[in-house]
């Protein structure tokens, strides 16, 4: 019995460093404020106390209890308290999982939080590179840890940080301090990085039913900050208005899901006319969704949600299939349309099976690929190698590509020349700006593209004067409300029949007069 007691005594001494290590690790690691984390701390403290008591009193019972308690603490450490569950490695802060756990566990308590999001995070990460941007995130995390040591801090991915407290604190002051710091650069060795920040703050007085709703409403606030033409450093207070916006977004999301699942995405056509002859030569296919409560939804409402949720691929495939069905209908073949433009999302362009799927659909309906023009925006250039491979495969099948919304972003002639476009569509904002304040930019741009062999489509044509002026600039095609708004495919068929009858009547009258 004495031998057993001496053995346990030696074991307790040997295990004591492990217990002190767990205690030091816990307080250094600073686990998120969760019940299981507090239980872990209690077990560690109890473990150390039992070990010291067992050694001091030379008690066999205490040594056995200490040993069992150590097993429990180790199981908790490698199980529920595994640091990888809660830690974001780049910033040293708690991760999204930790935030969700804390908010769910404390859903009945009052809370105050400040959310900070790097502006245009995807573009900034592309600009600086992944490695350098990760180091920048580490610098930001270190600074936040130093400035707000008492507040739990979380990194929720994609450049978003959250400061959380269950006791009231001056949120506006904290947001102002963060905004002030981001007016300066972040220095990593010789590398100097400039990143913008948008701040939003809210508390539990904004009644939200779930953690997902909290995250969604904060994302909505930051998305509106990114979309602002003139970014402001002023933080946004999330209130009932943003909650209403969230509810609308959720309703749009559900309408989108139903439309995609039931093949109910509608396709509208907007005519494209020859600038010189005024003949309708083509059309642009535009996705629309009808909901009994929301009515017709415009692409600006549901396309961002479709891209975020990943349903844009199915939606785009529906539109492409329905355009092919329209073009293959014998009634519509008499309309004498040269082509129809179909929009491709940047996410669709990254699909390695896109070419195979589109080719199979157009072959099923027997539509010549030359009658299907695929519109892409400059955002698709991010993965240029994948895009060039897709375009090369599809051009071999006869598809043609159009650059959409030129003049709305960072497109330049050198970038455009890397892709074999046949047509450049000038963004409506770019076109309208010329007629509001005329200068040489629009005519020079049109002339440059024509000299490079591209045809030009001007969007946003609203008046006869605009159409005449663009024709004088030698613009190839025109599109806008001056000719027609987007309309359902059946209405477009009637519209084309009426225009063709009018053109035939005009030709007959001209022949008779001669």
* Domain spanning 86-238: CATH 3.30.70.270: yes
Tell me how crowded residue 501 is: count the other CB atoms within 10 A of its CB: 10
Question: pLDDT at position 496, please?
Answer: 93
Q: What is the CATH number of domain 263-509?
A: 3.20.20.450
Q: In this structure, what token pair is assigned to residue 419?
A: 């892709």
d(CA 509, CA 232): 61
With H, G, I as helix, E, B as strand and everything else as coil, classify residue 129: coil
Query: What pLDDT score was predicted for residue 400?
Result: 92
**Rounded Cα distance, 370 and 261, in Å:** 30
The token duo for 471 is: 């024709």
Q: How far is residue 28's CA from residue 362's CA, in Å, rounded to a whole number?
A: 62
pLDDT score of 310: 83
Q: Is 256 helix (H, G, I), strand (E, B) or coil?
A: helix
* DSSP string for residues in 2-64: HHHHHHHHHHHHHHHHHHHHHHHHHHHHT--S-HHHHHHHHHHHHHHHHHHHHHHHT-HHHHH
Are the C-beta atoms of residues 113 and 202 closer than 8 Å to each other?
yes
Instruction: Supply 79's token pair.
Output: 């199980």
- The single residue listed with the structure tokens 């004495």 is 2
| Contact (Cβ atoms closer than 8 angstroms) between residue 99 and residue 47 | no
Question: DSSP character for 238?
Answer: P
In the chain, % helix, strand, coil (3-state, to 5) comes to 55, 15, 25
For the beta carbon of residue 234, count every other beta carbon within 10 angstroms: 13
Determine how many CB atoms are found less than 10 A away from the CB of residue 5: 13
Instruction: Residue count of the chain, please give it.
Output: 514
Cα 69 to the chain's mean position, in Å? 47
Q: Contact, 64 vs 4, CB < 8 A?
A: no
Contact 33, 69 (CB under 8 A): no
What b/e sequence results for 49-79 when a residue is b if at least 16 CB atoms lie within 10 Å of its CB, and e otherwise?
Answer: ebbebbbeeebeebbebbbebbeebbebbee
The structure tokens 């929009």 sit at 343
Handedness of CA 261, 263, 268, 274 (dihedral sign): positive
Per residue of the chain (514 residues), give pLDDT as tens.
343 445 556 666 666 677 677 666 666 556 666 666 676 777 777 877 877 777 677 677 777 777 777 777 777 666 555 656 788 889 989 999 889 988 988 888 899 999 999 988 888 887 888 899 999 999 999 999 999 998 999 999 889 999 999 999 999 999 999 999 999 999 887 788 999 999 999 999 887 778 888 888 888 888 777 766 555 667 888 887 777 777 788 889 889 999 999 999 999 999 999 999 999 999 999 999 999 888 989 888 899 889 888 899 999 999 999 999 999 999 988 888 999 999 998 888 878 888 889 999 999 999 999 999 999 887 766 666 777 777 888 888 889 999 998 877 655 666 677 778 999 999 999 999 999 999 999 999 999 999 989 999 999 999 999 999 999 999 999 999 999 999 999 999 999 999 888 776 665 654 555 5
Are 480 and 461 contacting, i.e. CB atoms less than 8 angstroms apart? yes
User: Residue 482 carries which DSSP code?
Assistant: T
pLDDT at 33: 67
Measuring CA to CA, how many Å separate 5 from each of 67, 71, 190, 266, 489? 13, 19, 62, 81, 90
* pLDDT value, residue 289: 94
- Compute CA distances 336 → 272, 326, 396, whole Å: 13, 13, 24
For strands 487-488 and 266-274, give the pairing: antiparallel
* Residue whose C-alpha is closest to residue 397's, from 372, 377, 418: 372
φ and ψ at 385, to 5 degrees? -65, -45
Element (H, E) at 372: strand 372-376
């Amino acid at each position: 019995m004495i031998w057993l007691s001496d053995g346990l005594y030696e074991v307790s001494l040997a295990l004591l460093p492990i217990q002190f290590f767990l205690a030091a690790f816990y307080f250094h690691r600073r686990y998120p404020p969760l019940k299981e984390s507090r239980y872990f701390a209690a077990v560690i403290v109890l473990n150390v106390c039992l070990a010291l008591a067992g050694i001091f009193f030379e008690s066999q019972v205490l040594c056995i209890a200490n040993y069992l308690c150590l097993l429990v603490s180790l199981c908790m450490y490698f199980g529920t308290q595994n640091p990888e569950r809660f830690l974001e490695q780049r910033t040293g802060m708690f991760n999204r999982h930790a935030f969700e756990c804390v908010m769910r566990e404390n859903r009945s308590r009052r809370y105050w939080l400040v959310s900070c999001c790097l502006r245009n995070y995807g573009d900034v990460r592309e600009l600086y590179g992944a490695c350098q941007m990760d180091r920048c995130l580490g610098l930001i995390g270190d600074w936040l840890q130093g400035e707000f040591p008492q507040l739990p801090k979380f990194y929720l991915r994609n450049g978003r940080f959250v400061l959380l407290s269950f006791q009231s604190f001056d949120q506006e002051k904290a947001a102002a301090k963060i905004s002030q710091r981001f007016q300066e650069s972040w220095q990593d060795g010789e590398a100097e990085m400039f990143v913008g920040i948008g701040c939003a703050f809210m508390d539990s007085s904004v009644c939200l039913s779930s953690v997902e709703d909290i995250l969604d409403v904060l994302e909505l606030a930051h998305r509106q900050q990114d979309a602002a033409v003139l970014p402001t450093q002023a933080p946004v207070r999330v209130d009932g208005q943003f909650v209403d916006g969230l509810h609308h977004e959720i309703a749009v999301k559900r309408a989108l899901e139903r439309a995609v699942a039931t093949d109910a995405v509608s396709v509208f056509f907007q005519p494209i006319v020859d600038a010189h002859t005024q003949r309708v030569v083509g059309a642009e296919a535009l996705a629309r969704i009808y909901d009994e409560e929301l009515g017709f939804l415009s692409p600006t409402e549901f396309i961002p949600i479709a891209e975020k949720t990943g349903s844009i691929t199915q939606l785009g495939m529906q539109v492409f299939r329905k355009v092919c069905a329209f073009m293959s209908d014998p009634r519509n073949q008499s309309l004498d349309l040269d082509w129809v433009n179909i929009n491709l999302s940047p996410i669709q362009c990254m699909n390695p099976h896109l070419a195979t799927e589109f080719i199979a659909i157009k072959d099923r309906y027997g539509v010549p690929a030359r009658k299907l023009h695929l519109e892409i925006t400059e955002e698709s250039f991010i993965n240029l190698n994948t895009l060039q491979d897709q375009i090369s495969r599809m051009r071999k099948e006869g598809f043609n590509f159009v650059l959409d919304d030129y003049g709305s972003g960072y497109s330049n002639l050198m970038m455009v020349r890397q892709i074999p476009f046949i047509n450049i569509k000038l963004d409506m904002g770019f076109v309208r700006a010329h007629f509001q304040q005329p200068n040489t930019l629009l005519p020079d741009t049109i002339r440059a593209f024509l000299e490079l062999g591209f045809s030009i489509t001007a969007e946003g044509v609203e008046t006869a004067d605009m159409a005449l002026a663009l024709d004088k600039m030698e613009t190839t095609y025109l599109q806008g409300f001056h000719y027609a708004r987007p309309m359902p495919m059946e209405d477009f068929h009637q519209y084309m029949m009426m225009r063709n009858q009018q053109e035939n009547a005009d030709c007959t009258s001209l022949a008779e007069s001669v």
